[in-house]
Amino acid sequence: LRLCSKSIRSSFLDNFRSQGHTIVRSSPVIPYCDPSIAFVNSGMCQFKNVFLGLTPAPHPRVANTQKCIRVGGKHNDLACAGRDSYHHTFFEMLGNWSFNDYYKRDACRMALEYLTRPPVSLPLSRLYFTYFGGSDALGLPCDEETREIWLELGVPVGQLKREGMKSNFWEMGSTGPCGYSSEIHYDLKGDPESALARVNADVSDLIEIWNIVFISYNRTSPDSIVPLANNFVDTGLGFERLVTILQDKRSTYDTDLFEPLLQTISKVSGVKPYSGNFAASHITDLDTNYRMLSDYSRMITVALADNMFPDATAKLRNVVRDALIISEDVFGVKQGKLLKELTYSIAEILGESYPELREGLNGIQLIISEESRIFDNLRKGAVKEWKTLVHAQPELSVLNVMEEPGLVSGVKYLNKQLVREPGEMSGETAFTLYDTHGLSKNIIEKLAAVKKVDVDLGGFEERLNQLKMSSKEKSASNLPNISPADVKDLPQTTDSAKYNYHYHTDSKK
Ligand code: ATP
Ligand code: MG
Ligand code: MG
Ligand code: MG
C-alpha cells in the first residue's frame, strides 16, 4: 500500500487537529493589504499582523495547508522550477502555528512525532536537523536550547547540524517578524556517511522538508532587530516533497500530484511520454519542458482562481506566455488548448482541498483563451515587421521576437528616444519599454547592450516601484480577501464530506 497525496494532506491536518489545533483555510495567493510581497509565499503571511501584535490571534493553535507561489522577491524559485526535482513555482505548504501558546519543545516534539509515527513512519535514521548557530553582526547567541531539545527527543548527535543566518534565521522580508529556525531534512539516498555534508548543499538527494521557525523578533531596519512582546511558532512542511518521500519517488514529478499532468500533455500533444530524465536539465530538453509546463500550469490555474489578473505588471503574464510558448513550440498545440486541458486535471487533483479551482474553471479557461489570442496576434504581426527592422539593423538579430513580440514597437520607440537623448537610455525610457511595450528587464538590458548604450537601472527600478505600489493599493481596496481577524474555520469533524479528511490508499505499490 502506498499513501496517496490526498490522504497524506489529511493525515497532517488530522494529526494537528488532534493536538488541539483549529484548521483554518489557505488564504488566497494574492497578499492581503501587504504591498511588500507580490504573492503569498508561505503559510505565515496571513498571520503577519498577529505576530506584530496588531491583530488578535484567531485561536491559540492553528494548522492549515497554504497555497504558496515563489516567483519573485526574497523567495524566487522560477529559475529552478522544472530544472530540479523539488522546487516549484506553486506549492502547498502544510503548517502549524502557536500564538503565544506552546513553544520550542512542543513544536519540535510534534514535528518529530508526526514524521516518525504512523501513517507517515519515516525512519529517524534518514532525518537530519539544523539549528541556528548565532550571529555576531546582530549579537544573537547560538540556539543551544533547540539543539538540546532534539537530543532529548532522541535525535543522534551525528544527525544535527549547526547553520548560519542564510538558512536558519528566517525573515519574511527586509523588515517584519523574524526568528531562529530549525529545519528537518530527509536523505533520499540513504547514505549516512555523506549526509551531513549534503544538508543545505543544493542537492536533489537530500532535501529540506520542514522549517520550524521561532518567531520572537521584529526587524525594524537592516541592522536592528527588537524582541517581540510574545513568542510564536510558525512551521512550514513542503507537501510535494513529503508526498515524494512517502510514495517512494525521487522527484515530485513522479508523484500522483504531477503524473496525471505529464500524461495529459503527452495525450493531448501526441508527443512521446515523459521519461523522468534529469540529466539534461536544459530548456531544449523534452523532459525539462514537460516539467516546466506542468509546474507553470499549476501556478497559472491557482493564481487565476484567486482572481489575479495577468496584466503587464504581474509576473503571471510572463509565466502564462512561457507556458504558451512551450505548448506551441515544443508540444505543437496551439491556442492555449493544452493549458486549458491541464486546468481540468489540476482542478481534479487539487479541487477537493481548494474548491475555488473547480468553481473558477470556466473563468480560468476564458482568460487563458484570451491571453493566448492576444499573444498570438502579437507574435504574428511582430514577425513580419521584425524582419524589416533586422534588415536595417542586423545587430538586432540576436533577439528573439517570437518570445518578446513587444520588441517591434519597443525598438521603434527606443530609436526615436536615442535620437533625442543619444548615448544613454534613461530610467523613464526603460520604464516605458517595460510598461507600454511589455519588455522584461532582462530584454531591456540586452537591447541596451545591442544598441551600445548605458541604461539607468536605478531610475527604472524607482519608477517600477511606484507602479507596483499604486497597483497594489488599487487591488487591495477591492479584494474579497479574508483578513486574519476573520480567518474562516473549516469543519472540525473528520467526517466532513466537503473537505474529506479521510485516509485514501491505493495499491499501486
Ligand atoms: P529550500 O532551501 O529547499 O529552497 P526554503 O528554505 O527556501 O527551501 P522555507 O522558506 O523554509 O523553504 O519553506 C518551508 C518549506 O517549504 C521548505 O522546508 C520546503 O519543504 C518547502 N518549499 C520551499 N520552497 C519550495 C518550492 N519552491 N517548491 C516546493 N516546496 C518548497
Ligand atoms: Mg528556497
Ligand atoms: Mg532552506
Ligand atoms: Mg527553510
> 184 CB less than 6 Å from ligand 1?
no
Using the structure block, give the residue that is written with the C-alpha cell 487539487. 350
pTM of the complete model = 0.83
Mutate to test the pocket of ligand 1, among 211, 212, 302 (most ligand atoms within 8 A of CB): 211
Examine the fold and report which residue of 376, 410, 437 is the final residue of a domain before the chain moves on: 376
**214: which 3 cell numbers?**
521561532
Which parts of the chain register pLDDT below 50? 474-509
> 150 CB less than 6 Å from ligand 1?
no
| Residue 8: closest CA among 501, 508, 507 | 501
Q: Whose CA is nearest to atom 25 of ligand 1?
A: 87
Atom of ligand 1 minimally distant from the CA of 213? 11
CB atoms within 10 A of CB 113: 13
Phi (first) and psi of residue 234, to 5 degrees: -135, 115
Query: Could you tell me which residues are beta bridge partners of residue 506?
Result: 2
Do residues 246 and 262 both lie within one domain? Answer: no
Supply the pLDDT for residue 173.
73
| Residue 4: closest CA among 358, 495, 355, 509 | 509
| Strand 176-187 versus strand 206-221 pairing type | antiparallel
Do residues 144 and 271 both lie within one domain? Answer: no
**324: which 3 cell numbers?**
504558451
Do residues 435 and 462 both lie within one domain? Answer: yes
For residue 16, tell me if it sits in a domain.
yes
Burial zone of 193 (CB within 10 Å; 0-12 exposed, 13-18 middle, 19+ buried): exposed
> 95 CB less than 6 Å from ligand 1?
no
* N-term to C-term CA, the chain: 6
For residue 497, tell me if it sits in a domain.
no
| Strand 61-69 versus strand 22-23 pairing type | parallel
Supply the pLDDT for residue 488.
39
Domain count, the chain: 3
Q: CB within 8 A of 348, min separation 6: which ones?
A: 260
Supply the pLDDT for residue 482.
35
CA of 360 to the centre of ligand 1 (A): 28
Using the structure block, give the residue that is written with the C-alpha cell 531539545. 149
Examine the fold and report which residue of 231, 250, 269 is the final residue of a domain before the chain moves on: 250
380-396 exposure pattern, b = at least 16 Cβ within 10 A, e = fewer:
eebeebbeebbeeeeeb
Please list all protein residues whose beta carbon sits less than 5 angstroms from ligand 3, which is an ion. Answer: 167, 208
Supply the pLDDT for residue 405.
80
Q: Whose CA is nearest to atom 1 of ligand 1?
A: 208
For residue 399, tell me if it sits in a domain.
yes
Examine the fold and report which residue of 188, 215, 250 is the final residue of a domain before the chain moves on: 250
Do residues 369 and 266 both lie within one domain? Answer: yes
For residue 278, tell me if it sits in a domain.
yes
pLDDT tens by residue, 262-272: 999 999 999 99
Supply the pLDDT for residue 490.
38
Do residues 128 and 43 both lie within one domain? Answer: yes
> 253 CB less than 6 Å from ligand 1?
no
Q: Where residue 140 sits, what CATH number does that domain have?
A: 3.30.930.10
CA of 199 to the centre of ligand 4 (A): 11
Supply the pLDDT for residue 468.
67
State how far the Cα of 365 lies from the Cα of 343, in Å rounded to an integer: 8
Mutate to test the pocket of ligand 1, among 93, 246, 253 (most ligand atoms within 8 A of CB): 93
Do residues 228 and 276 both lie within one domain? Answer: no
Do residues 47 and 196 both lie within one domain? Answer: yes
Supply the pLDDT for residue 244.
98
Q: Whose CA is nearest to atom 21 of ligand 1?
A: 238
For residue 246, tell me if it sits in a domain.
yes
Supply the pLDDT for residue 481.
37
Do residues 32 and 164 both lie within one domain? Answer: yes
- Please say whether the dihedral angle defined by the alpha carbons of residues 342, 343, 348 and 352, taken in this order, is positive or negative: positive
Residue 32 · residue 482 · CB < 8 Å: yes
pLDDT tens by residue, 60-118: 999 999 999 999 877 899 999 999 999 999 999 999 999 999 999 999 999 999 999 99
For residue 493, tell me if it sits in a domain.
no
> 240 CB less than 6 Å from ligand 1?
yes
Q: Would you give the DSSP letter of residue 135?
A: B
CA of 400 to the centre of ligand 1 (A): 33
| Residue 64: closest CA among 103, 110, 9 | 9
Residue 99 · residue 57 · CB < 8 Å: yes
Q: CB within 8 A of 436, min separation 6: which ones?
A: 409, 413
Supply the pLDDT for residue 171.
86
State how far the Cα of 257 lies from the Cα of 303, in Å rounded to an integer: 18
For residue 505, tell me if it sits in a domain.
no
Domain enclosing residue 45, as ranges:
2-250
Supply the pLDDT for residue 280.
75
Do residues 216 and 316 both lie within one domain? Answer: no
> 70 CB less than 6 Å from ligand 1?
yes
Supply the pLDDT for residue 38.
83
Do residues 293 and 362 both lie within one domain? Answer: yes
For residue 487, tell me if it sits in a domain.
no
Do residues 314 and 433 both lie within one domain? Answer: no
| Residue 182: closest CA among 254, 258, 233 | 233
**2: which 3 cell numbers?**
502506498
Which listed ligand is nearest to 210 at the C-alpha? 1
Do residues 366 and 422 both lie within one domain? Answer: no
Q: What is the ipTM of this complex?
A: 0.99
Q: Whose CA is nearest to atom 16 of ligand 1?
A: 238
Residue 332 · residue 271 · CB < 8 Å: yes
